[in-house]
Structures are given as structure tokens and as C-alpha cells.
Amino acid sequence: MEGLALALIIAMTVLLQATLFKRTAFKKLDYKCEFSTGEAHEGDEIFLVETIYNKKLIPVPWLKVEINSSRWLEFAETRSVVAQENRHVTSSFFLRSYQKVTRRWSLKCLKRGVFRIDKVTLVSGDLLGNATNSLPVDVNAEIQVYPQTIELQKIFTPVNHLQGDTIVKRWIIEDPFIISGVREYTTRDPMKKIHWNSTARTGRLMVRQEDFTSKFGLSVILNVQSIENEYFDAVYKDFIELGIKAAATIFDIALRNGIPARLASNGSTVDGERQMIYTQEASGRSHISSLLAILAKMELRRIRDFEDYTGDISEGITNSEIIVITSYLTEGICNILRKMKLKNNTVSILVTNKSVNQDILPADMDVYILREDVLKDGEDTLKDAG
């Protein structure tokens, strides 16, 4: 009888604690999940901050938080499960009475894009883990990851070196000035501007005299079509991603030098309802930020054939320095760009495919292609994508 009574007491205890913890686990329990910043760049390290507050006397013996995020947000020092484009992470807590806990996950932004965590699932139960319950919680955490900027002069090389330092080449080498002579050094000049040959000749410190040469606005035309005959998603996605990085770099230069800029593209953004891109030409941090936001959300899928799209917008761009970023060229595209030059525009072309047919490259425009030593490690990936 004593054994039966003891077994009955144990069973009742297990049942009571199971009922108690299952019913009270999510009562007066606040949970919040947010990114430490709303904006970042590729390669940046940020934080995902979890805050949970047990606002009752009864403790929570265990609590699991199931987080589903993008695979392109890499959680440091934790094991996560990656499936296709998603990453699953589990966070565990023990909460005493009236305890508040804050946990910061270190994340690395591996890729441009807009990433959201819409919901998490809270799972809790009794001391033995037998009686469990779950609760979905809206968190609506979002971060916008801008494309990484790159060193253009280390990635692209001019096809025709005989053209000299043209006004377009200055964009590629990130130098918005041209050298117009030398003058005597002043205390406001940085040491790196000292012209040592002139200094030795005159016996006085001399610096390079630089004149700002930009008279026009800047128009970046980005082709998200990786080959001429392409009707759905980009075949060679690396070409387009490199072009997006190049565009972001050019807009960064425009911001630092106060040059009005616009973006045109035959693609659309993830929230653009398949609307092609053609922005106004403007300057300032807010405008450039809006252009970078568009690049962050670009889909790798063309809406209209690039040659047709370029023809459509060609009449509307005048008095502009046009930079075309594309992985291929056709004679039709080159002819449209020649017509655009007649409208007081300058035109340069960045080709993101080093295997482009060089016979089609126009000799009457500034053309830059990938250096031979760029993306060697990625060539197999490009072949596989084809």
C-alpha cells in the first residue's frame, strides 16, 4: 500500500507540475527580437538582439525560441541548420521569477538584400519536457544590406590604353580631378599631393594643382541580363552581382563629390511589381541612399531585353556622363550608345565578363573589362551556372 501511495503521489506531482508550467509558460512573458541596425553593407558584422522578460512569480523552467532567417545572415559561434535559402537557429533560456534576459547574436551579412524575420516560435513545457506547448510571435525584424563597394581600378582595366586619362576613366580610377599643373604648398595641403620633381627643381615644396572636371550629371545604366538570349533568371549571376557592386561604388564616389546621379536598369526590385528602374537625377545622401536601397533589392531577372530598354531611354538622357554596366554587348547596343553621345553625353562601358567577344567592343568609346587575375576562384562556379 505504501508503494502504491508513493506512486500515486509522484504521479499527481508530475501531473500538477505539468499542468502548472504548461498553462503559465507564456503568461506575462514578453519577447522581442530585432537587428542592432536597420542598414548594413555586405561583409558587415551586426547583432540580432533577443530580449525576453518573465513578468510573473512562476519561473519558466525551459524555453526554446525557434528563429528562421536567411542563409545569408551567418550566426557566429552557433550551429544552425541551412536549407536552401533559409537558416534555422534555436535559442534556449531558463527564466527565474521576474527575470529579464537579453542575448546578442553576432551576425555577418554575407550578401546584399532585404532580410526579414517575420515570426519566431516559442516552445516551453514542464520540468520533465513531457508537456510542451508552442506559441508563434510576430517580431517583424528587418535589415537592408547594401552591396559591397569594390576597388574598380583593381578589377577593371581599360581596353584601349592609348586613349589616355579621359574624363570617364577618372571614374574608374576613383579620381574626380585632373592635373592642371603645380603650385606652391600650403599648410592645408596633404603631404601625398606634393610634387617631388617640381619641389627638387624649384627648391620649394610644390603640390599638384587639381581641377574638378565634372560638368554633367551621372547616369548608370545597369544590365541585369547576363547573355543576349536570356528570358528568365540571369544565367551568370556572378556577372550581375559584380555589376551591382560596381554601380554601388560609382554612387559612393558621386556622393563624396556631390555629383547628381541616376540609376536605370532593365530589371526590377523584389517589391517593385516588375517595374523597370529609371530614377530622377539628383545628389545628396538621401538620394544616393535610395539608389543603394534599389541595388540591395535588385532581382537577377530582366524585365525587358537590354537593347530594347536602352533604346527606350536613350532620348531622355542628355548632358550626362553615362556608365553602362553589362556582361555582353551587341552591335545594336553600341549603335544606340553612339546616338546617345550625340546628345552631349559621354559614354563609358564596364564589361563584367572577361570572356566577352572583344571584336564587338567599340573603339570609339571608353571600355573597361575584367582583369585576367580577377575572379579566378569563381570561374568554376560561372561554368556550372551555365
Q: pLDDT truncated to tens, each residue of the chain (386 aa)?
A: 666 666 666 656 556 655 655 667 788 999 999 999 999 999 999 999 999 999 989 888 889 999 999 999 999 877 788 888 899 999 899 989 999 999 999 999 999 999 999 999 999 876 666 667 889 999 999 999 999 999 888 898 888 643 444 434 444 544 444 455 677 777 666 776 777 777 777 778 877 765 544 557 899 999 999 999 988 899 999 999 999 999 999 999 999 888 899 999 999 998 877 899 999 999 999 999 999 999 999 999 999 999 999 999 999 999 999 999 999 999 999 999 999 999 999 999 999 998 887 888 998 888 998 887 765 544 443 333 33
Q: Tell me which CATH code domain 24-146 carries.
A: 2.60.40.680
* Grid cell of 305 as nine digits: 531585353
Angstrom distance (rounded) from CA 307 to CA 311: 6
Start and end residues for every CATH 2.60.40.680 domain found in the chain: 24-146
Q: How far is CA 148 from CA 55, 236, 290, in A?
A: 43, 19, 15
In the chain, which segments carry CATH 3.40.50? 152-173+214-385
Topology (CATH level 3) of domain 152-173+214-385: Rossmann fold (3.40.50)
The pTM of the full predicted model, rounded to 2 decimals, is: 0.77
**Are the C-beta atoms of 226 and 183 separated by less than 8 Å?**
no
